[in-house]
Amino acid sequence: MFNEAELFYGHGTSTPIDDAIYLIFSTLDIDLSSDYERSGRILKSSELAELDARVELRIRDRKPVAYIVGKAWFCGLVFSVDERVLIPRSPISELIQNRFEPMLKLPPTTILDLCCGSGCIGIACALEFAGARVDLSDASSECLVVAEENIGRYDLLDRAQCVNSDLFASLSGRSYDLIVSNPPYVSMAEVESLPFEYHHEPRLALLSDEEGLAIPLEILRQAETYLNPGGILVLEVGSGAEALCKRIPEVPFLWMEFAQGGDGVLVIRAEELHHYRECFI
Ligand X SMILES: C[S@@+](CC[C@H](N)C(=O)[O-])C[C@H]1O[C@@H](n2cnc3c(N)ncnc32)[C@H](O)[C@@H]1O
Q: Which residues bind ligand X (CB under 6 A)?
A: 86, 88, 90, 115-118, 120-121, 138-140, 143, 166-167, 182-184, 204-205
Minimum CB separation of residue 204 from ligand X in Å reads 4
CA distance 35 to 38: 6
Which CB atom, from 55 or from 115, has the smaller least distance to ligand X? Answer: 115
Alpha carbons 108 and 105: distance in angstroms, whole number: 9
Task: Specify the length of the chain in residues.
Answer: 281
CA–CA separation, 70 and 86 (whole Å) = 12
Continuous segment of H or E residues that includes residue 143: helix 141-153
- Whether the link from the prior residue into 102 is cis, omega within 30° of 0, is yes
Report the nearest approach of ligand X to the CB of residue 17 (Å): 24
- CB of 227: closest distance to ligand X in angstroms? 17
Pick between residue 92 and residue 273 the one whose CB is nearest to ligand X.
92
Least Å distance, CB 31 to ligand X, is 24
Q: What is the DSSP letter of 88?
A: P
* 194 CB burial (10 A radius; 0-12, 13-18, 19+): middle
Considering beta carbons, is residue 24 or 93 the nearer one to ligand X? 93
Based on CB atoms, which residue is closest to ligand X, 184 or 262? 184
Where in the chain does DSSP place strands (E)? 71-74, 77-80, 110-114, 133-138, 160-164, 176-181, 227-236, 254-255, 265-269
Q: Which is nearer to ligand X, 50 or 82 (CB)?
A: 82
The least distance separating ligand X from the CB of residue 59, rounded to whole angstroms, comes to 25
- Closest to ligand X by CB, 49 vs 169, is 169
DSSP 99: T
CA distance 204 to 201: 9
Closest approach of Cβ 167 to ligand X, in Å?
A: 4
Measured from the CB atom, is 2 or 122 closer to ligand X?
122
Q: How far apart are the first and last CA of the chain?
A: 51
How far apart are CB 218 and ligand X at their closest, in Å? 8
Of the pair 59, 207, the CB lying nearest ligand X is at 207
* Minimum CB distance to ligand X, residue 110 (Å): 18
Adjacent-strand bridge partners of 113: 136, 180
Helix (H, G, I), strand (E, B) or coil at 230: strand
